[in-house]
Structure 1
Amino acid sequence: MTGKQRSRIRLGLEYLETREQPSASPTQLNIDTTSYDPDHVIVKWKDGLAHASSITTASDALGNGQFNLTLDANVSVTTAVNYFKGLSTVEFAQPDYKVQIENLPNDPSFGNLWGLNNTGQDGGTANADINAPEAWNTNTGSGKMIVAVIDSGIDYTHPDLAANMWKNPKEVAGNGKDDDGNGYKDDIYGWNFVNNTPNVMDDNGHGTHVAGIIGAVGDNGIGVAGVNWHVQLMALKFLDKDGSGYMSNAVKALNYAVANGAKVVNNSYAGGGSDPAMQAAIAAAKAKGVIFVAAAGNDGTSDDINPVYPANYNSDNVVTVAATDRNDKLASYSNFGRNTVEIAAPGSNIYSTLPGNKYGVYSGTSMAAPEVTGAIALVWDTHPTWTYSQVINAILKTADILPSLTGKVATGRLDVGAAINYSISAPITTITPLTVSSAAFNDGSSLSSVRVTFNQTIDPTTFTAADITFLGPDGKAIAIKAVTAVSGMNNTQFDVTFAAQKTLGTYRLTLGTAIKSKAGKLLDQDGDGIAGETTDGFTVSTSLAASQLVTSTDVNKLIADNAKTISTIKIDGSFTISDVNVQLNITHPQDKDLKISLLGPDGTRVYLINQRGGTGANLTNTVFDDDASQKITAASAPFTGTYKPETALSQFKGKLAKGTWQLIIEDVNKGNSGRLNSWSLNFNSTSTASVTPVISSPVVTNQRKFLSPAPLLDASFVQAENQRKNQTTGT
C-alpha cells in the first residue's frame, strides 16, 4: 500500500455469504378483510341445519352445515354478523370476504425469496416478511423512479437486471464526449469512481446482489423479482474487486447520484469515522429531497454506543436498517440501536442476482438495506407528490412492531404492503408544531455556551439541564451549569452554559423531547404531527480546530518566462487536515500566463488559478479559500482579496499534513517573467501535533454539524478492515 493510500479513509463491505438456495413456495390466495359482499353473510348453526331469520330473505347451502344468507335490503353486514353471533344456536357468523389471487410474479425462483413472501419455507415463520405481494396488488413499479446503488458496480448485462438499468438519456455511448455536460464522458449506466471510467461492471458481486434485491425485473419468467419490479438502477462503483474503496469516492458517487436525478440512494458499506465531506454531501442530498438508506453494520453491537458510518449520520433523510432472520428475530450479527437505527428488514440468507447471469445467497445488513430502498422506491412511485419525509414516515409508521425488536430499533420490521397504502394527512392541531429553529455554539478560543432558538414561546420550566446531554470528544458527559432565557426574546431563545472546553475535537449537544411549548405541546422536530417521539430529539455538534499558519522559506524566486517554478513547505508534525487555505504574493505583469497549483505530500493536486485575469499585475495578499464568495474564474487582475480556487481545496480534508508541499507555478507563454515573493498555508486541524517551521497562535473555529445515523458495510472484511484502520491511524 502506498503512502497516498494510507492517508485516505478506506471503506469496505462485510456481507456474510452462504449461497444457500431455499425451496420454492406455492401461489397463494389473498383474503382482503376490508372488502366483502354487502348483501350476504356466512352463518353456521350448531345443528348444521338451515334456519329462517327475520333479517334475511334467502339461504344458499355451502356444505358442511354452512349457509350463505341474503340480507334484507335495510340490514348491514355488520348488523347481521353481530345479530347471528349473539344467538346461542349459531356456531359462527362472518362477512362473505372478497378473495383474490395475490399478484405473485412468475419468476421461477420467487419461492426462494422468503423476505418478500414467507410461507414457512425452510424452517421459517409464515408471514415473517415485508408483505411484498400485498404491495404488488397496488403497484409493481412504473419504471420512473431512479435508485442509485453506491457499491461495487452492477452487472448491467444480467438478464434479470438489464431492463431495469438506468440509462443516461442525454449521453451518447462510446463517443468519448461529455454530451450532457455533467463532467463525465460516456456515463451511460453511471460511473466507476475506482478507475474514473464509465465501466461500472461489478467485479465483486456485492453491488449486483444489492441491485437484484431492490429491482430485479419481476414477472419476466427469469430468476427472481426485486421489491420494485420496474425501476431505474443507477450503478455508481466506488468499491473495488476486493470490496473496499475510499471515502472521497463515496462522496463523489453520492453527489453524482443527486445531480443526475436519483431519488433514493442505497449505501451498503461502512468504514472510518464521521467525515465532514460525507456529512455535507448527505445534507446536500436532503436539500434536494433525496433519501439516503444505510446498513446498520454487522458487528452485533449498538450503534447508539459505538457509531458506525455512514449509518450514524443524524439527518432526517437518512434511514438506517438492521437485519432480521426468517423467524422475525434480529439477526445475531446485526447492529442495532433504539436511537440510531430506524427500522429492520430481512437480511439473512437473501437470494438475489450475481454477476455472470448467476444467483446466490448473501447475509448481512447490506441485504436488509436494499429491501428498504426498494420499498421506499415503490411507495414513492405510488405517491409521486409526497415529500421525502412523508415517504419515510409511511415506511416507519407502518412497520410491524415485534417483541424481538423492542428496544433494538426505533420502529419495527418493514411492511411495504402497509406502507404503500399509508394515508398521509395533515395533523389536526391549532398551533404550529414546536421545533428547534437553530442551535449555535459560541465562537472563541473555547466553548462555553450554546444558544438555542425555538420557533415559538416555550414553557421555561420544562427546559432544564435534565433535558440536555452534552458529550465531549472523549464521549464523556459534560455537566450543564445553567439554562437561561435570553432577555427580550419572550422565552423563545435560551443560553445553555457549561465550563469552558478547550480540548480539540467534536462536541455534541442533544436536547430531549420533554420540552414543551407555552400551549403544552411537546417537541415535534421531525414534523410528522406526532410530538415527543424519540425522533423528535435535536442534536447539534461543533468541532474545535486549531488554526496553524505555515510560511514558506523557499521564496524570492524568479518565475522564468515559459518555464516551471517550484517552491516547497515541509511539515514535520503529523496532524489531520480539516481545512486549508493558501496565501500568495507574486509579482507578474501578465496573470493570464500563469497556472498555479498546490501539490500535497500524498500526490493530491489542486489548481488555484489557471490562466485567469487577462492583462494585470501581481497577486498581492491573495487568499484561496473554498468558502470565499468570489470565484477566481469570474475575477480579473490584479488579484487582491479572497477567492474560491479553480478546484476545491477540500480534497485535502481528512488527510495527514506531514510531508513536503509544493507550490507549482507554470508560465505558459513567452514574453514576461515575474517573481514569487512569499506564500503560506493556513491549516485547520482537529489534532494537537506541532508544525514546522512556523505556527501561528491557535485560533478556534467552530464547524457546525448535525449528527446522523450510521450505515454499514457488509462483507467478510472485518479482519482486513481492522488492518486498514491500523494503517490509517498508525496504531
Structure 2
Amino acid sequence: MQKIVIFLCLSTLCMEAGAQKANWQNLDLKTDSVFGISTEKAYRELLPKKKATTVLVAVIDGGVDTAHEDLKAIVWSNPKEKAGNGKDDDRNGYTDDIYGWNFIGGPKGDVNYDNLELVRILRRDAPRYDSLTETTVPPAERPQWENYRKMKAEYEQAYTNAQRTLQGIQGFKSVLDRVVAGIGKDTPTIEDFKKYIPKDPGETQICKVVTSQLEKDPDYIKFRDGELGEALKHFEVQKEYQYNLSYDPRSIVGDDYSNSRQRNYGNNDVTGPNADHGTHVSGIIGAVRDNAIGIMGVADHVRIMAVRAVPDGDERDKDVANAIRYAADNGAKVVNMSFGKGYSWDKKAVDEAVKYAVSKDVLLVHAAGNEGKDLEKSTNYPTRVYEDSSGLAGAWIEVGASGPDDDSTLVAPFSNYGKTKVDVFAPGVAIYSTTPGSHYANHDGTSMAAPVVTGLAALIREYYPRLTALQVKDIILRSAVKPTHTVTIVEEGKPRQVQLSDICVTGGVVNTYEALKLAATYK
C-alpha cells in the first residue's frame, strides 16, 4: 500500500505542475515570469521580415501521428518516393518510405513492447555464465562473469520491486472498487467518499488517499483511469514484457539480429501501435505556429521525418544505429533522440552511425534521462563518448530538464545531470504538446527538454543555413542563460544545493532570443 500511495503522490506533483501558463516553455523570464526560452520574444523582435529555409528534423522515437491536425502540414514527404506502389522508387533500400521508416516493424506487424537491455544481455549471457562458480570460472573470464553476476542481482532486485509494486497497485484498486461498490455510484464525488463509512483500515486509507486526490482534481474518472490506470499499466508492462526473460518480440521484425551491419529491414508504418511519445516530441519541435489551433512549436519552417526505433521498453542499438543513418542519408540536419538506457548491447554500431551523421553535418540532440542521477557516475546510452577511445561526437548536445520557476526548484527533480556530461538544461516539466488523434496533453521528462533544444537548433539553421552543426551547437551553449542562485538536486536521498554550473557544462538554460542574436554575429 505504501508504494502506491508514494506513486500517486509523485503523480500528483506532476498534475499540479501542469497548472502553468500556456506555452510556458517559449515564454520569457523577464516579461512572463517563467523560465522559458524566450522564443516568442525572438519571433516578435528578431525574426520579422527575415527569410527562412526549410530544415528537415528526424524524430527517432516510438512513432508519430502523421495525421495530427497540428502536425500534418509539417510532416516530411519523401519527394523521391511514390506512395503505395510497393516499389523502392528512390532505391535507398526502403520501400514506400513516404514519411520515414520503422525499424521495429516487419512483415508480421510492429513491435510494441520489448525487454530492457539488461534483460536481453542476461538472456544472451546466461548459457555461458550461469553454471560457473567462484572455483570454476576461468581466470580470463572472471571480469565478465563478475559483471554478469552484478547485472543479474540488479535485475532480480528490480523485478522483485516491480512485482511488489504491481501487487500494491492491484490491492489498492481492489479495495477502491469495493468502496465504490459500497457507495453505489460509478462516478462518486469527493463528498461521497467523505460520507462513506469504511469497513476496515484498508478502506479508511483508500478514502483518505482518494479524497486527497479529488481535492486537487474532482474528476474521479480521470483519477481512476488516468493516475491509477496508468500506474497499473506501467507495472503490468514491466512484469509481462520489460523484465520477462522469456519474452522476445524480435521475430516480428524478421531481421538477422546478430548482424548489426544489416540495414534493409522494417516497414513503413511510422506511427506504430503507440505514437504518444513521438507525437508529443514532434509538436514541441515544430507544431504549426500560425494555424490558430493547438500549440506552437519552437521552429516555424521544419519538416518532421518520423523514424520509429523505440518500443515500450529499451531501444536496440542496431535499430538506433540504422535510424541515425537513415536520417542522415535522407537529409535530416537535426536529429532528436528522446530515449536512453543503462546498458548497451552494441555501442560500436551506434558510434559508427553517430560518426557517419556527424560527417554529414548533422546535429544530434539527446535527452539526459529521468533517473535523477549524476551521469559522471552513471551512464545513459547512447553517449557521445566513442567506445574505441577515438574521442567524442562534437555535434552532440546532451539535455537536462528544467522547470518554470526561477528559484532552487529550477532543475526538475527527475532530471539526470553531470558537470561534463550534460551540456544545457531546457524546459521539461508540464510541457503541453500534441498527442495522437489530434489531442493534446502535458508530459514531463528530459524527453520533452531535448525537443525544445532540437527546435531551437532547427530554428537557427532555418534563418542561418550556412552555419555548420558545430557552430549551431556552439551558439546554443554560449547563449544559455545562467541563473545566479543555487538549485536543488538529490544525492543519496538527501537534497543538496549546488550551482547549475556544478551539474552541467554551460551552467545555463537554453534561450532562443540570445541564441539568434549570437547567430547573427557568425560569419
SS at match of 1:164: coil
Aligned position for 1:422: 518
Deviation readout 1:635-694 (Å, 9 max, x if unpaired): xxxxxxxxxxxxxxxxxxxxxxxxxxxxxxxxxxxxxxxxxxxxxxxxxxxxxxxxxxxx
Aligned position for 1:165: 75
Structure 1 residues 205-224: aligned runs within 5 Å? 205-224=276-295
- 1:285 matched to 2:357? The reply is yes
Structure 1 residues 388-403: aligned runs within 5 Å? 388-402=469-483, 403=485
Aligned position for 2:505: 410
Aligned position for 1:331: 412
- 1:320 matched to 2:398? The reply is yes
1:208 counterpart letter in structure 2: T
SS at match of 1:248: helix
Deviation at 1:201, TM superposition (A): 1.1
2:37 counterpart letter in structure 1: I
Deviation at 1:202, TM superposition (A): 4.5
Contact 1:19–1:360 under 8 Å retained in 2: no
Contact 1:16–1:363 under 8 Å retained in 2: no
SS at match of 1:188: coil
1:156 and 1:18 map into 2 onto residues whose CA distance is 28
Contact 1:228–1:377 under 8 Å retained in 2: yes
Candidates 354, 357, 360, aligned match of 2:441: 360
1:422 counterpart letter in structure 2: L
Aligned position for 1:259: 329
1:407 counterpart letter in structure 2: D
Change (3 A) 1:385 1:188: same
Deviation at 1:310, TM superposition (A): 1.4
Aligned position for 2:372: 300
2:296 and 2:26 map into 1 onto residues whose CA distance is 9
2:516 counterpart letter in structure 1: I
1:250 and 1:162 map into 2 onto residues whose CA distance is 25
Gap runs ≥5 in structure 2 = 1-10, 106-265, 386-391, 488-499
SS at match of 1:319: strand
1:239 and 1:17 map into 2 onto residues whose CA distance is 27
Deviation at 1:19, TM superposition (A): 6.5
1:356 counterpart letter in structure 2: G
Gap runs ≥5 in structure 1 = 1-14, 25-110, 428-731
Deviation at 1:203, TM superposition (A): 3.0
Deviation at 1:424, TM superposition (A): 6.5
Contact 1:202–1:208 under 8 Å retained in 2: no
Aligned position for 2:315: 245
Deviation readout 1:557-577 (Å, 9 max, x if unpaired): xxxxxxxxxxxxxxxxxxxxx
2:370 counterpart letter in structure 1: N
SS at match of 2:454: helix
Aligned Cα root-mean-square deviation (Å): 2.5
1:120 and 1:351 map into 2 onto residues whose CA distance is 21
SS at match of 2:26: coil
Deviation at 1:320, TM superposition (A): 0.1
SS at match of 1:353: strand
Deviation at 1:282, TM superposition (A): 0.7
Contact 1:267–1:294 under 8 Å retained in 2: yes
Change (3 A) 1:322 1:229: same
Candidates 328, 332, 338, aligned match of 1:268: 338
Deviation readout 1:105-161 (Å, 9 max, x if unpaired): xxxxxx52211115799xxx8141100112223349846100000001110000000
2:354 and 2:12 map into 1 onto residues whose CA distance is 27
Contact 2:314–2:340 under 8 Å retained in 1: no
1:226 and 1:424 map into 2 onto residues whose CA distance is 22
- 1:148 matched to 2:58? The reply is yes
Contact 1:238–1:245 under 8 Å retained in 2: yes
- 1:126 matched to 2:33? The reply is yes
Q: Which stretch of the first structure deviates more once superposed, 192-201 or 130-139? A: 130-139
Aligned position for 2:431: 350
Structure number with higher strand proportion: 1
1:275 and 1:250 map into 2 onto residues whose CA distance is 10
Task: Work out which of the two has the higher radius of gyration on C-alpha atoms and give 1 or 2.
Answer: 1
Change (3 A) 1:19 1:224: farther
Contact 2:480–2:509 under 8 Å retained in 1: yes
1:309 counterpart letter in structure 2: Y
2:331 and 2:411 map into 1 onto residues whose CA distance is 34
1:243 and 1:354 map into 2 onto residues whose CA distance is 19
SS at match of 2:25: coil
SS at match of 2:364: strand
Deviation at 1:287, TM superposition (A): 0.7
Contact 1:152–1:243 under 8 Å retained in 2: no
1:130 and 1:425 map into 2 onto residues whose CA distance is 20
1:323 and 1:406 map into 2 onto residues whose CA distance is 14
Change (3 A) 1:420 1:212: same
Deviation at 1:219, TM superposition (A): 1.6
1:217 and 1:176 map into 2 onto residues whose CA distance is 31
Contact 2:77–2:98 under 8 Å retained in 1: yes
Contact 2:26–2:38 under 8 Å retained in 1: yes
1:258 and 1:211 map into 2 onto residues whose CA distance is 18
Contact 1:168–1:189 under 8 Å retained in 2: yes
Change (3 A) 1:202 1:363: farther
Contact 1:194–1:245 under 8 Å retained in 2: no
Aligned position for 1:387: 468
1:191 and 1:425 map into 2 onto residues whose CA distance is 38
- 1:192 matched to 2:102? The reply is yes
Contact 1:290–1:317 under 8 Å retained in 2: yes
1:418 and 1:316 map into 2 onto residues whose CA distance is 22
The structure with higher relative contact order (CA 8 Å, sep 6+) is: 2
Aligned position for 1:707: none
Structure 1 residues 505-516: aligned runs within 5 Å? none
Aligned position for 2:42: 135
Contact 2:17–2:429 under 8 Å retained in 1: no
1:260 and 1:189 map into 2 onto residues whose CA distance is 11
2:412 and 2:347 map into 1 onto residues whose CA distance is 28
State the 4+ residue runs in structure 1 displaced beyond 2 angstroms.
15-24, 118-121, 137-143, 242-245, 311-314, 423-427
SS at match of 1:213: helix
SS at match of 2:509: coil
Per the normalisation by structure 1, the TM-score is 0.42
